[in-house]
Structure 1
Amino acid sequence: MINFLNDWYMWIKVGHIFSVIAWMAGIFYLPRLFVYHAETVKQGSETDQLFQTMERRLLYGIMSPAMTGVWIFGLLMVFTPGVVDWSAIWPWTKAISVCVLTWFHHWLGYRRKDFMRGENKLTGRRYRMMNELPTVFLVVILISVVVRPF
């Protein structure tokens, strides 16, 4: 298994980067859909159904498969010998940040179900504020992995 991971490392890295891009695109877009859904759409209308369809397809068609790819390819890189030095701080800051983004992903899934049941209690302003969270953790991940200041 070790030789396989070393031989395929660059392809694994490509899969990881591709998955990260797709996941982050969705993680930035879904809360924006929630903003417009919460602020402008009347519950039970055709537009409400349209938003629910867009939100469901984004979450289950793009975001969830991409998040799964991030975890699979990321763990493959972690288990590739010589890639991660666990005595440094940067892999830990990245791992914690990815866990927070995974929590955020699931939080978005619960909010989608609130819209589906007609029980959304959050305002567009609150969704706008929550939309800043992934940006902060993306910056932490990029600095941790590229600059490795710790």
Structure 2
Amino acid sequence: MAILWVKVFHVFFMVAWMAGIFYLPRLFVYHSQTDNQQVRDQFKIMERRLWYFVTPFALLTLILGLILIYMYGKEWFLVSKWLHVKIPLVLCLYVYHGYLFVLVRKFARDDPPYPTKVYRFINEAPVFLLLAVIALAITKTW
């Protein structure tokens, strides 16, 4: 029964984390479109707060995922080929999360490195990565 609760919270924190890191690049889109300094300053606050708000969810997702692997055991891990594919994809999401922090810092200095269209891509591309992670976790096939 305990393993089910660990799964519940693992999925809950993953959903909360994903909601945040999908919204943050959308803020970048709007931020990059404005020339009003007061509006830019407001976006800076929102971006920074959102990144710091969702980062604990990312850490709890990771911790609970590792706990699940531990609870299932070494033998299960060795034969779970789907998980061996899922882990690098999840690591990509953590790299993406870290890169969003780099962008938050650049926007904070009023130095956005890309045009608006790039932020739209940054906002949408990880959806497919998440789809692959979810498909692997549910189907448990590879």
- Structure 1-normalised TM-score? 0.87
Displacement of 1:15 after TM fit? 1.1
The one-character-per-residue Cα deviations of 1:97-129 (angstroms, maximum 9, x if unpaired) are 110000000000000000111111211100111
Matched, 1:58 2:60: no
Deviation of 1:82 (Å): 4.8
- The 2-side partners of 1:59 and 1:73 are apart by 20
For the Cα contact (< 8 Å) 1:27–1:134, is it kept in 2?
no
Counterpart position of 2:39: 47
Q: Find the partner of 2:19 among 22, 25, 39.
A: 25
Which ranges of structure 2 fall in alignment gaps of 5 or more residues? none
1:79 alignment partner, SS class: helix
1:109 aligned to which of 69, 84, 101? 101
- Gaps in structure 1 of 5+ consecutive residues: 1-6
Q: How does 1:1-150 map to 2 (within 5 A)?
A: 8-42=2-36, 45-61=37-53, 63-82=54-73, 84-150=76-142
| Separation in structure 1 between the aligned mates of residue 141 and residue 89 of structure 2, nearest angstrom | 16
Separation in 2, partners of 1:22, 1:41:
31
Q: Is the 8 Å Cα contact of residues 14 and 61 (structure 2) preserved in structure 1?
A: yes
Count the aligned residue pairs.
Answer: 141
Alpha-carbon distance between aligned partners in 1 of 2:61 and 2:71, rounded to the nearest angstrom: 15
- Structure 2 letter corresponding to 1:26: G
Identical positions, percent:
34
Q: Name whichever of 30-39 and 117-126 sits farther off.
A: 117-126
Counterpart amino acid of residue 95 in structure 1: I
